[in-house]
Structure 1
Amino acid sequence: MVSVSPRLRDSLDYEDPEETDPRLSFGFRSLSINSAEYESYEPHGDRRAFAGSPDPGANRRIKRQRQSDQTLDHAVPFEYKTVADGDLFRIACILPGTQSAHVECRLEWESSRHPEKDYRCLSYCWGETIERNAAILLDGFRFAVTRNLHRALQCIRKPNAEVRLWQYVLPAWVDQLCINQSDLDERAHQVSIMKHIFNKARVIVWLGDEDDRSKKLCEYARKMGRGEHAPRDSPKTILSRILSQRQLHDAVQRLLQRPWFSRVWVVPEVALARFTEVAIGSELVSWDNLVRLIKDTQLPRKSGFDKQTALLGNPRQRIAIISQMNASQREGLLHTDITQLLILAKSSNATDCRDKIYAYFAMTLLRLRPDYRERPDHKRSVERLYIEIAEHYVNSIRYDDYYSRWHALNEQRRTQQLMSMLYSAGRLHQHYELPSWIPDWTFAWYQAPFWCTTDANLSAFSGRDEWSTGIRSPYRAGGETIETLEVLNEAPSQHCLRISALVFDTVAEVSETTPASTPSTEGHSPVSPAESTVTLDTSTYSYGRDFFKTKKGLRGMATRGIQTGDVLAILLGGDVPVMLRSANVVDVEEVAYTLLCECFVQSDDVMQGELIRTDLWLAEDIVLC
């Protein structure tokens, strides 16, 4: 005899905690198919599906899909009738639904300071296109969205319960359900309370649909995080049954190449969250397990220039920085490391160039500036914004003890942050018309740097800004101490930087081919292999650079675009030399130069600081403009 019970809910996540299983109610009896009592029963007249029965036929699915499309097609376009201000923000409640039924949401108000109910935040990237070629129902009105968001909402919603979601914006403010994207003031206001919204939410990172190995990769990460293996088997033996080492490397590389990892707004979305889950299709894995997986998976190094490991802001390094930022937020510390912000911003994509800075607004000390009025200004010109931010950081790090006390910045770390700004700048690394010492946050990293390493530094994360100390280069060309470093704001030298430097040589010859190494020249010994992994024939570092020979016979390499007559200088406190070009600035007492780029000189005396120690008395104040 076979008994079949009426189909119950697909999920046990009931809205009403007092609701009980109907099979336990009084008078319930199993339906016996073989019982003569039910010979006249016509199952075709009953529209209810039986447990274990197959899905309805294709005709019924087509009919439901047609009805769903008609509902969307006839719906009136959505318009915002209210303004989000104060502590309030909108929550999108995703109504229950399954399979191909259209996605329907309802907007509700919630307090960022004292939320009444739990909610989640969705972090996603729009995908291959920003074209809004799909639609949902929002408060009964039609709302156009990208196909990637539509797919994410379908996977997140539940069949029997609502899902309360704050869907934040990524570049171009497309797909925004909870914020009026056409209202710049509302957008700025929502960014200003973003910290409070994310601190009280569980974040879902939507990476897209599954591929042939992502499901196994999630299983691998979960089991590795829980340490699930038999007593006599090693974890490697058990996990290798899920993915071999070759398959694991391929799966991790594919994962890190997904567009989400290159967007600028994902940084605060994860850094500010109290808990983060990563979703790939229907699979979920915690952020901590994902970081542990990436940390323990050493990808094979490729010969030649490999941007996955050679460039600053590579996916592994981005994950490490974001995790360290998250640790800072959990300890209630505002972020103070400009080095990390520059690494992330210049390796991120953003449609609005201001977002390269405003994305970090909620978790840095920038929000304490009175002229920013607790909210970003998208009407401010990009050039003005970049200049103001650079000057603000120089003055804060150099002179503001309050700023340094947030993360206990010692003199060495303050010097390192200041120099990282200069090494991230340079006329040869700018798109906008900016003073040469001002970093252009839109200019992407495309060369392996001399002034730091590109290691992920995926160690145990603490709230302090100790992460950047692990990426410092082995060179100490300028010693450990800065003397003069100040911003000049008086015309005609407005927005110039006065700094102490030793100008020690001039470029005599520039070539695109690698010159032969030379022995000691003019008393400068060549770089010792034990002291450096960089030589002039190292393909990783020579990519995108020209080679030069100086009047004193030194050889080196610098960013393509240097010319004969450019001068080499060591900035006091800097780790590597820089290339400068003479500039004409009237009414300036010091010699004025344009900063071009960092450079490498094949001389141990220069790179390890012996030159600055012997010739320090020749250093002078110069002006970078």
Structure 2
Amino acid sequence: MGRIYRFSWNTIVWLGEAQDNSDKALETIENIFYSMRYVTNRRHPPLEDFERLSIPTPGSALWQDLNHLLGRPWFRRVWVIQEVALSENFYVRCGHRSLSWHVLSIFALIMKEHNLLRYLKVHNSLLNGQIGCQRVSEIDRMKNGTSPLESISSSHMLPELVAGRDAQATQLKDKVYALMGLASSSLQPNYSDTVSVCDVYMAATIEVLVVEEANNDRARSFPPWTVPYDTVVNLLCCVDHFDPQSGCPSWVPHWGKARETVSLGYDSASPKLYKAGTGPGGFPDAGNYMRIQQKLRTIVMTGRIFDIIGEYGAPFVGDVESLLHKAFFDESSSTIIKSHHMAMRCDPYPGESGLFEAFWQTIVAAKDFTRLRRAPPAYGDVFGVLLDEVIGRSPAMPHQSYPSRRLTMDHLRAQSARRPSQIYRELEEAVYAACSGRTYFTTMKRYMGLGPKYARQGDKICVFTGSHVPFIVRPHRDQSYQLVGECYVHGIMQGEVLRMNNILEEPITLR
């Protein structure tokens, strides 16, 4: 199919018959595209400007129409990735109306950058407009990075495998096979029972990792292989399902399951914000490599075991709009109250941060709502108002400071687009991206962090040489470890561990 799409002049996808006001939904997409495509700031537009910008008002039925259109099954299928990415001119058609992919993709980008996706929310719906919109953006990224006439190399297949995790497929093996049309891969589809799903995911992972030193048949047959650290670090950031019973090594991502978290380290901005294992100089010398050995099931990296998890809390749950409120004000189990009690046992906090700054920075993983920049101090001001309210005293933590104009809960509840309520909405996004699906923990050395919900007491914090984020590993047999997943630990994200003379670099074996 890949060759058919590469040489097609035009490709038209059929979304189905016109229903659920799909004509109005397509018209709304075009209106938002034409009115917002040149708006460069990433702020949420003031509500009073929605009508002028051709954006439906929050209570408009047009959002429901958009939700039905973008929630159609086509947007979730894994096989559509190569259909879009490899076609030169692509259109979607619903009923008697058509829309170019360019208009649809820019619309999806506008919805994301201007924080308009919240209006597409439908409770208890798996195929909703939010997911469809996000899928359009993800597929468009791959389309822009793929030449219709040339296959990408298998060593650059990682972004495609990542994108395929959120898609739907009848066969779990298709999470890999459906993407092979994009790459010059040596993998051959095999649906027989003699090849397990784990075998396919392992083979795809090895295809990503093996570089030019092992790109011929003879080299592939004789591990160990050497792989640059930046490649393997990106791969390890894709691991967020810890299942010792899966049959796969812990460092192989489960390509058949959608992520449970928004990755801390797998994006282009993360190496600029975090430098846990690189320090100010960036990646280490090119001679630093990871080794794959023992029948492809073990990898060996250099790193430093920094600390041990002492306490951990319950996972943060909820969508973008509800997670922050649930964390603070859910009377049955306030996640923040429990985390606050754990944080207070970290006073005085190690390093240069005061306890309050360490706490709120951890809850947003030191990133703002775009995940491209550092969290601004204004987030701490709003976080402090919420914390004082739920803890019942002011200040709620040591070293907590307040802005010259004291904020109140009334400022945050204001429905207008004034600055405090705008920061609150940004904080919602930042907390969701950092905390959703993760758990808050503290370590034996009184550091605090965010890690996978699978983290447990006794797990270790490891900083691999060349990695910009730390990882949680679990001691296994024969002095080896199982990878639990990436984490944020406040106070070691800028290379501090590399400067601790009492923590030596050593080989770390992952199974």
**TM-score of the pair, normalised by structure 1:** 0.53
Across the aligned residues of Structure 1 and Structure 2, the Cα RMSD in angstroms comes to: 3.9
One-letter amino acid of the structure 1 residue matched with residue 138 of structure 2:
I
Give the corresponding residue for 1:551: 444
Q: Specify whether residues 201 and 615 from structure 1 end up closer, same or farther in structure 2 by C-alpha distance, changes over 3 A only.
A: farther
Q: Deviations over 1:486-534 (max 9, x none)?
A: 11135xxx51001111110011223324422445534464648595348
Question: What is the aligned counterpart of 1:385 among 174, 192, 200?
Answer: 200
CA shift, 1:473, in A, is: 7.3
Alignment of 1:122-521 (within 5 A): 191=1, 194-222=2-30, 240=54, 247=60, 249-297=63-111, 298-300=114-116, 314-330=131-147, 332-336=149-153, 337-366=156-185, 369=186, 372=187, 375-379=188-192, 380-396=195-211, 415-425=229-239, 428=242, 432-452=246-266, 469=268, 474-479=273-278, 480-481=282-283, 483-490=288-295, 494-512=296-314, 513=335, 514-516=338-340, 517=343, 518-521=346-349
Corresponding residue pairs, total: 379
Give the corresponding residue for 1:532: 367
Counting aligned pairs with the same residue, the percent is 24
SS of match in other structure, 2:480: strand
> Which has a greater percent of helix?
2
Contact kept, 8 Å, 2:497 with 2:503, in 1: the verdict is no
Q: Specify whether residues 474 and 399 from structure 1 end up closer, same or farther in structure 2 by C-alpha distance, changes over 3 A only.
A: farther
Contact kept, 8 Å, 2:237 with 2:264, in 1: the verdict is no
Q: Specify whether residues 353 and 361 from structure 1 end up closer, same or farther in structure 2 by C-alpha distance, changes over 3 A only.
A: same
Contact kept, 8 Å, 1:501 with 1:569, in 2: the verdict is yes
CA shift, 1:360, in A, is: 0.9
SS of match in other structure, 1:449: coil
Alignment of 1:72-91 (within 5 A): none
SS of match in other structure, 1:469: coil
* Partner Cα distance (2:72, 2:351) in 1: 51
* Partner Cα distance (2:235, 2:454) in 1: 20
Contact kept, 8 Å, 1:450 with 1:473, in 2: the verdict is no
Give the corresponding residue for 2:398: none
Contact kept, 8 Å, 2:439 with 2:452, in 1: the verdict is yes
Contact kept, 8 Å, 2:198 with 2:247, in 1: the verdict is yes
Q: Deviations over 1:145-164 (max 9, x none)?
A: xxxxxxxxxxxxxxxxxxxx
CA shift, 1:400, in A, is: 6.1
Give the corresponding residue for 1:598: 486
CA shift, 1:357, in A, is: 0.5
Q: Specify whether residues 548 and 198 from structure 1 end up closer, same or farther in structure 2 by C-alpha distance, changes over 3 A only.
A: same
CA shift, 1:438, in A, is: 0.7
In the alignment, structure 2 segments of 5+ residues that lack a partner are 36-48, 217-226, 315-334, 369-374, 388-430
One-letter amino acid of the structure 2 residue matched with residue 268 of structure 1:
Q
Q: Deviations over 1:51-77 (max 9, x none)?
A: xxxxxxxxxxxxxxxxxxxxxxxxxxx
CA shift, 1:566, in A, is: 1.1
Q: Deviations over 1:453-494 (max 9, x none)?
A: xxxxxxxxxxxxxxx53576732212232523111135xxx5
* Partner Cα distance (2:26, 2:312) in 1: 51
In the alignment, structure 1 segments of 5+ residues that lack a partner are 1-190, 228-234, 402-412, 453-467, 586-590
SS of match in other structure, 2:273: coil
Contact kept, 8 Å, 1:391 with 1:487, in 2: the verdict is no
Q: Deviations over 1:3-53 (max 9, x none)?
A: xxxxxxxxxxxxxxxxxxxxxxxxxxxxxxxxxxxxxxxxxxxxxxxxxxx
Q: Specify whether residues 612 and 541 from structure 1 end up closer, same or farther in structure 2 by C-alpha distance, changes over 3 A only.
A: same
Contact kept, 8 Å, 2:238 with 2:263, in 1: the verdict is no
* Partner Cα distance (1:392, 1:509) in 2: 38
Question: What is the aligned counterpart of 1:574 among 464, 467, 479?
Answer: 467
Q: Specify whether residues 342 and 609 from structure 1 end up closer, same or farther in structure 2 by C-alpha distance, changes over 3 A only.
A: farther
CA shift, 1:584, in A, is: 1.0
Contact kept, 8 Å, 2:86 with 2:182, in 1: the verdict is yes
CA shift, 1:596, in A, is: 1.0
* Partner Cα distance (2:510, 2:149) in 1: 37
Give the corresponding residue for 1:608: 494
* Partner Cα distance (2:350, 2:115) in 1: 43
Q: Specify whether residues 622 and 329 from structure 1 end up closer, same or farther in structure 2 by C-alpha distance, changes over 3 A only.
A: closer
CA shift, 1:212, in A, is: 4.1
Contact kept, 8 Å, 2:232 with 2:290, in 1: the verdict is no
CA shift, 1:595, in A, is: 0.6
One-letter amino acid of the structure 1 residue matched with residue 135 of structure 2:
R
One-letter amino acid of the structure 1 residue matched with residue 463 of structure 2:
I
* Partner Cα distance (1:432, 1:520) in 2: 41
Contact kept, 8 Å, 1:506 with 1:565, in 2: the verdict is yes
**TM-score of the pair, normalised by structure 2:** 0.64
* Partner Cα distance (2:170, 2:243) in 1: 19
Instruction: Mark the structure with the bigger radius of gyration.
Output: 1
* Partner Cα distance (1:544, 1:295) in 2: 25
